[in-house]
Amino acid sequence: MSRVLIIGAGGVSQVVVHKCAQLPEVFTDIILASRTEAKCKAIAEQVKKNYDRTIATAEIDADSVPELVQLINKVKPFLVINVALPYQDLTIMDACLECGVHYLDTANYEPIDTAKFEYKWQWEYQDKFKAAGLMALLGSGFDPGATNVFTAYLAKHFFDEIQTLDIIDVNGGDHGYPFATNFNPEINIREVSAECRHWENNEFVTTPPMSLKQSFSCPEDVGTYNIYRMYHEELESLTKHYPTLQRAQFWMSFGESYLKHLEVLNNVGMTGIEAIEFEGHKIVPIQFLKALLPEPSLLGPRTHGKTCIGCVVTGLKDGKQRTVYIYNVKDHQDCYKEVGSQAISYTTGVPAMIGAKMMLEGKWMQAGVWNMEQMDPDPFMEDLNLYGLPWHVIDEPNFDLL
Ligand code: NDP
What pLDDT shows up at residue 115?
A: 73
Q: CB-hemisphere CA count at 13 Å for 108?
A: 25
pLDDT exceeds cutoff 90 at 11: yes
pLDDT, tens digit, 9 for 90 and up, residues 283-340: 999 999 999 999 988 899 999 999 999 999 999 999 999 999 999 999 999 999 999 9
Best of 37, 39, 106 to mutate for ligand 1, by most ligand atoms within 8 A of CB? 106
What is the per-residue pLDDT across 91-141, written as a single tens digit (0 to 9) for each? Answer: 999 999 999 999 999 999 999 888 778 999 999 999 999 999 999 999 999
Distance, CA of 236 to CA of 179 (rounded, Å): 30
The packing angle between helices 185-193 and 256-267, to 10°, is 80
- Calculate how far, in angstroms, residue 86's C-alpha sits from the geometric centre of ligand 1: 8
Q: Say how many C-beta atoms besides its own lie within 10 A of residue 161's C-beta.
A: 11
Q: Are 59 and 41 in contact (CB under 8 A)?
A: no
Region 156-173: what's the mean pLDDT? 97
Position with higher pLDDT, 399 vs 131: 131
pLDDT tens string 196-249: 999 999 999 999 999 999 999 999 999 999 999 999 999 999 999 999 999 999
Coil, helix or strand for 1? coil
How do the domains of the chain map onto residue ranges?
146-338
User: CA angle at residue 150 from 145 to 155, to 5 degrees?
Assistant: 130
DSSP 171-205: E--B-S-SS--SS-HHHHHHHHHSPEEEEETTEEE
C-alpha span between 178 and 260 (Å, rounded): 10
SS3 percent helix, strand, coil of the chain, rounded to 5, is 40, 25, 35
Share above pLDDT 90 across residues of the chain, in percent, rounded to a whole number: 92
Q: Quote the pLDDT of residue 182.
A: 87
Q: What integer pLDDT is reported at residue 112 of this predicted model?
A: 85
Which atom of ligand 1 sits closest to the CA of residue 85? 32
> What three-state secondary structure class fits 153?
helix
Asked if residue 67 lies in contact with residue 7, where contact means CB atoms within 8 angstroms, the answer is no
pLDDT value at position 381? 98
How far is 186 from 190, CA to CA, in rounded Å?
A: 6
Q: Which of 70, 183, 371 to mutate to test the pocket of ligand 1 (most atoms within 8 A of CB)?
A: 183
Alpha-carbon distance values, 331 to 50, 82, 114, 182, 319 (Å):
21, 25, 35, 14, 39
Encode pLDDT of 67-87 as tens digits. 999 999 999 999 999 999 999
Rounded to whole angstroms, the Cα distance separating 136 from 109 reads 13
Band (pLDDT 50/70/90 cuts) for residue 191 is confident
In this predicted structure, the answer to whether residue 1 has a pLDDT above a threshold of 70 is no
On the question of a cis peptide bond just before residue 144, with omega within 30 degrees of 0, the verdict is yes
Burial of 274 (0-12, 13-18, 19+ CB in 10 A): exposed
Residues in contact with ligand 1 (CB, 6 Å cut-off): 8-13, 34-36, 39, 60-63, 83-86, 88, 106-107, 139, 141-145, 183-184, 187, 296-297, 348
Q: pLDDT for 350-389, tens place per residue? A: 999 999 999 999 999 999 999 999 999 999 999 999 999 9
Q: What is the CATH number of domain 146-338?
A: 3.30.360.10
3-state class (DSSP) for residue 93: helix
pLDDT value of residue 400: 82
Between CA 284 and CA 185 the distance in angstroms is 13
